[in-house]
C-alpha cells in the first residue's frame, strides 16, 4: 500500500507529443487544459445577454465579481486598479485547480513545477508593478536595503511551498482515508481538506501577492 501511495505522489506523463524527439506532457498539464476549457466555457455562458438590470445567473456573476473586486481594491488602493484582473485570474485558477480533486482528477497544483511557476509569476508581477509605478532607478535603489534582496528569494519560496505542501498534504490524507474507510466518510473529510483548504490557500496566495504589491505601490511621505 505504501508503494501505490508513493506511485501516486509522482507526476506521470499523460502522453508524448511526437515531434523533436518526443516532448513528454505531464498529467498536470492536461488537467490545466481541462480547467482552461471549463473556465472559458463558463465565461462564455455567464456573459451572454448581459442586461442593465441583472436577473438570474447574472446576479451570481455580479456578486462574485463584486466580492473579488472589492477585496483587491481595498488592499491595492486606487492606483492599483489595473492589476486587479490578473490577481483575480490567480485566485480563480488556483481555487479551481485545488478543488478539482473532488471531481476525480489529480490537482495540477500537486505538481511542484506548477506551484513554482505560479510563485515565479507572482514575484515577477510584484517587481514589474514596482518598476512601472516608480521607475527602474527607484527599483534598483530599493535593493540597497538587504532585506529587500532577501525577500526576492524567500517570498516566492514560501508562496510555492505553502501552496504545494497544503495541496500535497490534503491529497495524501484523502488517499489514506479513501483507502481505509471507503464508505461515506471521505465526503465529509473531503469537504474540509479539498474544498475549504483549497479555497483558503487560493485566497492566501492572492492576498499575499496583492499585499506585496501594495507595499511596492505605496506612496512615500515627503
Part of the chain binding another protein (CB under 8 A), chosen from 15-23, 25-33, 58-66, 159-167: 159-167
Q: Which is nearer to another protein, 68 or 172 (CB)?
A: 172
Say how far residue 170 (Cα) sits from the centre of its chain: 16
List the grid coordinates of 132. 512601472
Spatial distance between the Cα atoms of 128 and 220, rounded to a whole number of angstroms? 18
Of 202, 208, 197, 2, the residue nearest 123 (C-alpha): 208
Spatial distance between the Cα atoms of 132 and 84, rounded to a whole number of angstroms? 15
Out of 9, 38, 40, 41, name the contact with another protein by CB under 8 A: 9
Work out whether 207 is an interface residue with another protein (CB under 8 A).
Answer: yes
Work out whether 204 is an interface residue with another protein (CB under 8 A).
Answer: yes
Q: Which helix (H) or strand (E) holds 16?
A: strand 13-17
Q: Which is nearer to another protein, 83 or 164 (CB)?
A: 164
Burial of 173 (0-12, 13-18, 19+ CB in 10 A): middle
% helix / strand / coil in the chain, to the nearest 5? Answer: 80, 5, 15
Work out whether 77 is an interface residue with another protein (CB under 8 A).
Answer: no
Work out whether 199 is an interface residue with another protein (CB under 8 A).
Answer: no
Work out whether 210 is an interface residue with another protein (CB under 8 A).
Answer: no
Work out whether 158 is an interface residue with another protein (CB under 8 A).
Answer: yes
Q: Which is nearer to another protein, 68 or 131 (CB)?
A: 68
Work out whether 168 is an interface residue with another protein (CB under 8 A).
Answer: yes
What angle is formed at CA 57 by the lines to CA 55 and CA 59, rounded to 5 degrees? 60
Out of 28, 166, 190, 210, name the contact with another protein by CB under 8 A: 166
List the grid coordinates of 214. 501594495
Work out whether 200 is an interface residue with another protein (CB under 8 A).
Answer: yes
Out of 85, 169, 180, 188, name the contact with another protein by CB under 8 A: 169
- Site of interaction with another protein (CB under 8 A): 6, 9, 158, 161-162, 164-166, 168-169, 172, 200-201, 203-204, 207
Amino acid at each position: 500500500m505504501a508503494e501505490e501511495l508513493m506511485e501516486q505522489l509522482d507526476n506521470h506523463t499523460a502522453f508524448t507529443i511526437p515531434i523533436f524527439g518526443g516532448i513528454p506532457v505531464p498529467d498536470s498539464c492536461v488537467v490545466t487544459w481541462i480547467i482552461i476549457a471549463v473556465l472559458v466555457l463558463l465565461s462564455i455562458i455567464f456573459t451572454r445577454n448581459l442586461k442593465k438590470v441583472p436577473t438570474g445567473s447574472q446576479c451570481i456573476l455580479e456578486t462574485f465579481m463584486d466580492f473579488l473586486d472589492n477585496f483587491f481594491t481595498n488592499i491595492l488602493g486606487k492606483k492599483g486598479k489595473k492589476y486587479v484582473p490578473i490577481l483575480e485570474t490567480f485566485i480563480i485558477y488556483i481555487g479551481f485547480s485545488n478543488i478539482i480533486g473532488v471531481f476525480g482528477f489529480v490537482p495540477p497544483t500537486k505538481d511542484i513545477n506548477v506551484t513554482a511557476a505560479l510563485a515565479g509569476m507572482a514575484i515577477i508581477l510584484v517587481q514589474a508593478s514596482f518598476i512601472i509605478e516608480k521607475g527602474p532607478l527607484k527599483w534598483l535603489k530599493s535593493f540597497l536595503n538587504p532585506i529587500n534582496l532577501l525577500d526576492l528569494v524567500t517570498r516566492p519560496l514560501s508562496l510555492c511551498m505553502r501552496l504545494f505542501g497544503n495541496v500535497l498534504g490534503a491529497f495524501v490524507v484523502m488517499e489514506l482515508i479513501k483507502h481505509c474507510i471507503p464508505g461515506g466518510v471521505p465526503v465529509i473529510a473531503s469537504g474540509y481538506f479539498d474544498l475549504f483548504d483549497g479555497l483558503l490557500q487560493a485566497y492566501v496566495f492572492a492576498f499575499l501577492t496583492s499585499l506585496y504589491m501594495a507595499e511596492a505601490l505605496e506612496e512615500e511621505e515627503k
